[in-house]
Structure 1
Amino acid sequence: MLKVEPVAASRSEQAALTRRTRLVGNAPDYPGRVVMAREQWRLLKPSKWLKTLRGKLADSCSGLERCMYCEDSRADEIEHRRPKKLYPDDAFSWANWLYACGECNGVHVKGDRFAVIIQNRCVEVSRSDGGPVAPPQAGLDALLDLRGEDPMDFIWLNLESGYFTPDCDDRQSERYLRAEWTITHLCLNSRSRLIRARRNAYVMFSTLLRDYVEQRSAVTDAQVAQRKRTEISRVLKEASHRTVWEEMKRQRAMHQELQALFAAAPETLDW
C-alpha cells in the first residue's frame, strides 16, 4: 500500500459534504446519528458531484485505478476508512474516503470492522448487527490512514516472499500493533493470489529494469532512447502492485543486482 493524495474537494463539493455532516450532527443522540448517516449516504448516491469525487479518488489510485488496499483489483467503491456505522460524524468527511475494490471493501475483508489501540493493546470496536448502538471506545486508530500517513513508514515488503511485515521489532509498540492490524485486517498476507501477484510483479519489474539498462547503453539514437524510456516508465507507472516497485527502490542497497541497475540508470528512481 502507498500513501494517497487525492485532489482537494472543490468549494461546492466540500460545502455539500459539510451540509450532510451537519444533518448527521443534528440528530439527538448517537443512535440517531448512525441512522441519519446511513440515510444521507443512501440519498447521496445518485448525485452528480459524487461522481466527480469518485473520479478524484480514482485518479489518485496507483496503476490503472487499482484498489488502494490490495493494489490488485480495480477500485470501484468509495470506502470509509472509519466505518460510517461506527463513526457517523465522519461519513461525509472527504479525508475519510478511499477507493477500494468490492472484495477489500466487503464483509470478508475490511467491511465495518475496526479497532483502536488502548494502552498498547489492539481493541476491536466493531458492532454486530442487532448489538447495542453505542459509541466505540476512544483510542488511536489501528488501521493506518492512507490519506494522512505513509504505509511504508510502518510496513515492509519481503520482495522474494511477497509477504508484508511490520517494519518494527517492538511488538508492544503502537507502530507494530497498527502495522500488524492493517496487514491482518486487510488480508494482505492471507490471500494467496496477492502474494503470488507481488512476487510476479517483482520478477516483471526487475526484468523491465534490466532490459532498460541494457538498451540504455546499446541504443545510440536519441529519439529511440527517449521512446524506450517513455514506454518503460509508463508501463511501470500503470502496473498493478506499485508498492513492489517502491520497495525495490527503497531496498536497493540490500540487493546487489538492484543496486547496480539503479546506479546504472538513476533516472529510474523518479519513475
Structure 2
Amino acid sequence: MKTYTQEIAQAAEPGRKAKAADLWGNTTVRRRVRDGLLTTLADMAPGHQRCMYCGDGQGTDIDHFEPKSLAPLRTFDWLNHLLACSYCNSNQKRNKFPRSDEDGSPLLLDPTLQDPLNHLRLVLPLCEYKGLTAQGEACIEVFGLNERGVLVEGRRTAYGTAKQSVELWRIATDRGQHSKAAEVVRVAWNRPLADVLAAMFHQSDHPAADLLFDGEEETLDLLRDSALREGFLARM
C-alpha cells in the first residue's frame, strides 16, 4: 500500500489524480490489494456486510471516504476505505465530498469515527431522517436517505420487525428460553437496516421519548426494560 502511495506522490501534481486512478484500476493491484481489502472490510461490517451509508444494500464496493479524485494520496490509505453498496458509491456519492464553509472540515459522516445517532434522528412513524447537524443534513442529501423510496419503505418494514423482535425477546426470556432470546437478538442486529433498531433504543432514552413513541407505549416500555436493553445493546 505504501509503495503505491509513493508512486502517486512521485508523480507531478497535475498527474496525481490520473496516476491514482490508473493504479487503483490496475488488474495486478486489484489482485494484490483490493480483493483482500474488500474481504477485510466485509468481515468488519455489521450485519450481513451491509453498506456503511444506507445500511440496506450489500457492501460490494470499496468507497474512498475522501474521493481519490480530490485526495489522490489517500487512494491506498486504509483509514480512507469504507464498505459501501454500489448504488451509494457510484450513483449517490460519486465524487461528492462537501466541506464546511467555516473551517473546511468534511460534512459527510465517517461511521467508523462518528456516531450517526448524534447527527441524524429517525422519525419513526415516517421512517425518514431528520438532520440534527450540518453533517447529518449533508448525509441525507448526498445519499438520498429520504428520497429513495426503497429505503423509506424498507425502514417501515424494519420498524415492524424490530418491534416484533423485542416482544419475542420478552416472551422467550419470561419462559426461561435464554438461548432463543439470544438468537432473537442476533437475528435482529443482522437484518438489513439495523439502524432502525439502534434508533429505537437511542430514542427510548431521550427526554422526549413519550412524544417520540406516542401511540407506541407498549414498545417504549419494552425498550426501557433494563434487562432487555442489556440483552440487545451488548451486541453493539
How high is the TM-score relative to the length of structure 1? 0.77
Structure 1 residue 49, shift from structure 2 partner: 4.2
Residue 142 of structure 2: aligned partner: 185
Q: Deviations over 1:229-257 (max 9, x none)?
A: 23212211211111111111111141333
Residue 167 of structure 2: aligned partner: 210
Equivalent position SS for 1:109: helix
2-side partners of 1:145 and 1:258: how far apart?
A: 31
Equivalent position SS for 2:99: strand
**Mapping of residues 159-174 of structure 1, within 5 Å:** 159-167=124-132
Structure 1 residue 46, shift from structure 2 partner: 3.0
Residue 228 in structure 1 maps to residue 190 in structure 2: no
Residue 155 of structure 1: aligned partner: 120
Residue 228 of structure 2: aligned partner: 265
Residue 200 of structure 2: aligned partner: 248
1-side partners of 2:135 and 2:168: how far apart?
A: 38
Equivalent position SS for 1:34: helix
Task: Verify the 8 A CA contact 2:56 2:193 in the aligned structure 1.
Answer: yes
Equivalent position SS for 2:100: strand
Residue 32 in structure 1 maps to residue 35 in structure 2: no
Equivalent position SS for 2:11: coil
Q: Deviations over 1:209-231 (max 9, x none)?
A: 112212322x24xxxx1321232
Q: Flag the structure with more relative contact order, 1 or 2, with Cα contacts below 8 A and sequence separation at least 6.
A: 1
Structure 1 residue 26, shift from structure 2 partner: 0.9
- Structure 1 runs of 4+ aligned residues shifted over 3 Å read none
Unpaired segments of 5 or more residues in structure 1? 1-16, 121-138, 168-175
Equivalent position SS for 1:78: strand
Residue 144 of structure 1: aligned partner: 109
Equivalent position SS for 2:30: coil
1 or 2, which has the higher helix percentage?
2
2-side partners of 1:97 and 1:46: how far apart?
A: 14
1-side partners of 2:140 and 2:58: how far apart?
A: 19
Unpaired segments of 5 or more residues in structure 2? none
Residue 76 in structure 1 maps to residue 63 in structure 2: no
1-side partners of 2:153 and 2:143: how far apart?
A: 16
Task: Verify the 8 A CA contact 1:77 1:105 in the aligned structure 2.
Answer: yes
Structure 1 residue 147, shift from structure 2 partner: 2.5
1-side partners of 2:32 and 2:5: how far apart?
A: 18
Task: Verify the 8 A CA contact 1:38 1:84 in the aligned structure 2.
Answer: yes
Residue 20 in structure 1 maps to residue 21 in structure 2: no
Task: Verify the 8 A CA contact 2:16 2:72 in the aligned structure 1.
Answer: yes
Task: Verify the 8 A CA contact 1:158 1:164 in the aligned structure 2.
Answer: yes
Task: Verify the 8 A CA contact 2:53 2:143 in the aligned structure 1.
Answer: yes
Q: Deviations over 1:87-109 (max 9, x none)?
A: 11111111111111111111x31
Task: Verify the 8 A CA contact 2:43 2:49 in the aligned structure 1.
Answer: yes
Residue 86 in structure 1 maps to residue 70 in structure 2: yes
Q: Deviations over 1:192-224 (max 9, x none)?
A: 11011111101101011112212322x24xxxx
Structure 1 residue 57, shift from structure 2 partner: 0.7
Residue 110 of structure 1: which of 51, 71, 93 is its match?
A: 93
How high is the TM-score relative to the length of structure 2? 0.87
Structure 1 residue 186, shift from structure 2 partner: 0.7
2-side partners of 1:86 and 1:50: how far apart?
A: 20
Residue 10 of structure 1: aligned partner: none
